[in-house]
C-alpha cells in the first residue's frame, strides 16, 4: 500500500482528482452552466442517447400495447361513452376537443400569449438518480435556451431549465423542492408558492403552500402561475387534490396534481422569451 | 503474469460500461422495482477494478463518471470524482487489504455502494429540503438502491474473472 502512495500512478490520480474538485467548485459558483467535460461528453453522446430513447419509447409502447390490450379496449369504451355525454352537455367545447392535437394546442397558447417565443425539444434521457423526475432535453444554449427558461407541454407547466449545455439542457420538474414559483388559485385568486417535496412526490403531486388560513381554495380548483419569478402569468400547473394545515398551523398547504403526466413526457416546449422575463426563482431571492 | 491484448474482450468491456450507463438513463431499459433503480456501474467498476491496475481503474471510473455527468447534466463533476476514487480504491484495496475472491468482491461492492449513495445523499438531498424529506430519501431510496446495486457484483465478478482469465498468460 505504501508503495502505491509513492508511485507515479497515485500522483496522476491525485492531480486529476484536484483538477476535478477545482472545476466543480468553479462551476458550482457560476451556477446554471455545466462543466466543460460534461458539455463535451453530452454533445458527443447526445445523438446516441436520442436514438436509444427513441428505441426505448418504441419498446415501451409495444410492451404497453401487448400487456394492456383488453384493459385499454374496455377503458376506451368507457371513455367514449363519457365523451359522448360530455359532448352533449358541453357543445361549446366541441370545436376545441377536435383541435386537440399537439401543435395546435401550442398554437393556442401562442395565440393567447403572442409575446411567447418557443423552442421545441425532445427528451433524451431521464435522471434516474433524481426522485423528482428531472430529465435532459436535446436543446441547449446553441438553440437559444438559457437557465431558468420555463418548460411546458400542451397540458401545462413541466418545470424550468436548471442547467444548460451547448446542445443539451436539464429540466427540473414542478415535483422538485428546487422549484419555487408564485401561483394563484384560478377561481379565488388566493396566492401561494408551488414547491415540491418528497412526501407529495410519492403520489406524483407537488405542494401549493403558504396559503392564508382565511383563503377559499377548494379541492378541484385549478392552480396557475402568478407571473412572479421566472414564469409568465397564467400557465396551468395542476388541480388541488387535498388541503391541510402546515407544520406550525400558521398557513394552509394543498397537494396539487400536475396537469402534465411527467412520467410520459416526450416532447416539450421551452419558452425562451416572454413579456416580463428576467425574474428568478422565488426561494433563491435573486 | 503477463497480460495479452484481446481486442474482442476489450470491445466487450467498453460496450458493457457504455450500455450500463446509457440504460440507467433510459426509462424503458432500466430495472426498476418499486421506484428503486440499481446503479449497475458501481458493481461493474468494482468487478473491473479487482483485476486491473489502480490507474486503469481510476481512468475507467473517470470516463464513466464524465459520461454519467453528461447524461444527467450536472454542474458538479460528482460522478467523475466519485467513480474515479472508487476505481482506484477497489484496485488498491483488493491488492493489499482484500483477496480477489467473491466474498471480498461482495464486501467491496457494499462499501462502494454505501460510499456512493451516502455522498449523493449528503451533497444533493440535504440542502433545500426538509429534514423529514432528507431522511425519507436516505431510507426509502438511498439504502434500497445501495443494496440493489451491490447484488449485481455476483454476475459481474464472474464475468470479469472470465475476461481476466482470457487476457492473462
| B45 domain residue, yes or no | yes
Residue A93 confidence (pLDDT): 54
Residue of A nearest to B30 (CA): A128
Residue of A nearest to B126 (CA): A177
Q: Is the pLDDT of residue B40 over 60?
A: yes
Residue of B nearest to A10 (CA): B55
Question: Within an 8 Å CB–CB cutoff, is residue B69 touching chain A?
Answer: yes
| A225 domain residue, yes or no | yes
Q: Is the pLDDT of residue B38 over 80?
A: yes
Q: Give the pLDDT confidence of A31-85 residue by residue, as tens digits.
A: 666 667 667 766 766 776 677 677 767 766 776 666 666 677 777 778 887 877 7
How many contacts (CB atoms, under 8 Å) link A and B?
A: 155
Residue A284 confidence (pLDDT): 42
Mean pLDDT, range B142-148, rounded to an integer: 91
- Give me the number of domains chain A comprises: 1
Q: What percent of chain B has pLDDT over 70?
A: 94
Range of the domain at A272: 32-67+99-286
| B158 domain residue, yes or no | yes
- What is the DSSP code string of B98-146? S-SSHHHHHHHHHHHHHHHHHHHHHHHSSSSS-HHHHHHHIIIIIHHHH
**Which residues of chain A have a pLDDT value below 50?**
94-95, 98, 283-286
Question: Within an 8 Å CB–CB cutoff, is residue B78 touching chain A?
Answer: yes
Residue B108 confidence (pLDDT): 94
Residue A210 CB contacts under 8 Å (≥ 6 apart), including other chains: A192, A193, A246, A251, A253
Range of the domain at B115: 7-167
Q: Give the pLDDT confidence of B87-140 residue by residue, as tens digits.
A: 999 999 988 888 888 999 999 999 999 999 999 888 888 877 778 888 888 888
Identify which has the larger pLDDT, B30 or A244. Answer: A244
Provide the mean pLDDT of chain A. Answer: 80
How far is A245 from A136, CA to CA, in rounded Å?
A: 35
Closest by CA position to A225, among listed A212, A236, A216? A236
| A222 domain residue, yes or no | yes
How far is A122 from A36, CA to CA, in rounded Å?
A: 23
State the CATH number of the domain containing residue A237: 2.40.10.340
Angle at B26 between CA A31 and CA A201, to 5 degrees: 65
Residue A87 confidence (pLDDT): 65
Q: Which residues pair with A238 in a beta bridge?
A: A223, A258
Q: Is the pLDDT of residue B146 over 50?
A: yes
Residue B139 confidence (pLDDT): 87
User: Chain B partners of A283 at a C-beta cutoff of 8 Å?
Assistant: 128
User: Residue B2: pLDDT band by 50, 70, 90 thresholds?
Assistant: low
Interface predicted TM-score (ipTM) = 0.71
Residue B75 confidence (pLDDT): 57
| B2 domain residue, yes or no | no
How far is A235 from B63, CA to CA, in rounded Å?
A: 41
| A5 domain residue, yes or no | no
Residue of A nearest to B37 (CA): A128
**What predicted TM-score, i.e. pTM, was given to this entire model?**
0.72
Of B92, B96, B129, the CB nearest to A198: B129
Question: Cβ distance A273 to A117 under 8 Å?
Answer: yes
Closest by CA position to B69, among listed A37, A162, A27? A37
Q: Give the pLDDT confidence of B42-60 residue by residue, as tens digits.
A: 999 999 999 988 999 999 9
CB contact under 8 A, A13 and B88: yes
User: Chain A partners of B81 at a C-beta cutoff of 8 Å?
Assistant: 17, 20-21, 24
State the CATH number of the domain containing residue B160: 1.10.1760
CB contact under 8 A, B137 and A178: no
Amino acid at each position: 500500500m505504501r508503495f502505491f502512495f509513492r508511485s507515479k500512478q497515485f500522483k496522476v490520480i491525485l492531480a486529476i482528482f484536484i483538477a476535478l474538485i477545482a472545476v466543480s467548485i468553479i462551476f458550482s459558483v457560476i451556477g446554471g452552466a455545466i462543466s466543460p467535460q460534461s458539455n463535451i461528453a453530452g454533445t458527443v453522446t447526445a445523438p446516441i442517447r436520442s436514438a436509444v430513447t427513441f428505441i426505448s419509447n418504441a419498446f415501451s409502447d409495444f410492451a404497453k400495447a401487448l400487456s394492456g390490450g383488453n384493459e385499454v379496449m374496455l377503458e376506451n369504451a368507457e371513455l367514449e361513452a363519457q365523451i359522448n355525454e360530455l359532448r352533449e352537455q358541453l357543445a361549446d367545447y366541441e370545436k376545441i376537443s377536435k383541435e386537440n392535437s399537439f401543435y395546435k394546442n401550442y398554437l393556442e397558447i401562442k395565440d393567447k400569449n403572442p409575446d411567447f417565443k418557443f423552442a421545441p425539444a425532445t427528451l433524451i434521457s431521464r435522471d434516474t438518480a433524481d426522485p423528482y423526475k428531472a430529465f435532459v432535453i436535446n436543446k441547449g444554449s446553441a438553440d437559444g435556451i438559457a437557465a431558468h427558461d420555463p418548460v411546458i407541454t400542451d397540458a401545462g407547466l413541466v418545470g424550468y431549465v436548471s442547467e444548460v449545455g451547448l446542445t443539451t439542457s436539464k429540466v427540473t420538474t414542478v415535483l422538485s423542492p428546487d422549484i419555487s414559483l408564485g401561483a394563484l388559485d384560478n377561481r379565488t385568486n388566493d396566492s401561494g408558492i408551488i414547491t415540491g417535496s418528497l412526501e407529495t412526490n410519492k403520489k406524483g403531486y407537488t405542494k401549493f403552500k403558504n396559503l392564508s388560513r382565511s383563503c377559499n381554495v377548494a379541492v378541484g380548483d385549478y392552480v396557475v402561475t402568478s407571473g412572479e419569478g421566472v414564469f409568465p402569468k397564467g400557465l396551468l400547473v395542476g388541480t388541488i387534490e387535498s388541503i391541510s394545515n402546515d407544520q406550525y398551523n400558521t398557513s394552509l398547504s394543498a397537494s396539487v396534481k400536475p396537469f402534465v403526466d411527467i412520467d410520459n413526457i416526450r416532447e416539450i416546449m421551452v419558452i425562451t422569451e416572454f413579456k416580463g422575463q428576467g425574474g428568478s426563482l422565488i426561494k433563491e431571492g435573486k | 503474469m503477463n497480460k495479452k491484448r484481446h481486442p474482442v474482450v476489450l470491445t466487450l468491456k467498453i460496450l458493457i460500461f457504455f450500455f450500463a450507463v446509457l440504460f440507467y438513463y433510459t426509462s424503458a431499459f432500466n430495472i426498476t422495482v418499486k421506484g428503486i433503480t440499481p446503479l449497475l456501474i458501481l458493481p461493474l467498476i468494482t468487478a473491473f477494478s479487482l483485476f486491473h491496475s489502480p490507474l486503469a481503474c481510476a481512468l475507467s471510473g473517470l470516463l464513466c463518471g464524465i459520461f454519467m455527468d453528461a447524461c444527467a447534466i450536472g454542474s458538479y463533476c460528482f460522478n467523475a470524482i466519485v467513480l474515479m476514487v472508487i476505481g482506484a480504491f477497489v484496485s488498491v484495496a483488493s491488492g493489499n487489504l482484500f483477496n480477489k475472491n467473491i466474498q471480498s468482491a461482495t464486501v467491496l461492492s457494499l462499501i462502494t455502494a454505501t460510499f456512493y449513495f451516502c455522498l449523493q445523499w449528503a451533497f444533493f438531498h440535504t440542502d433545500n429540503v426538509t429534514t423529514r424529506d432528507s431522511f425519507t430519501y436516505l431510507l426509502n431510496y438511498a439504502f434500497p438502491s445501495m443494496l440493489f446495486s451491490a447484488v449485481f457484483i455476483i454476475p459481474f465478478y464472474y464475468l470479469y474473472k472470465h475476461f481476466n482469465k482470457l487476457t492473462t498468460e
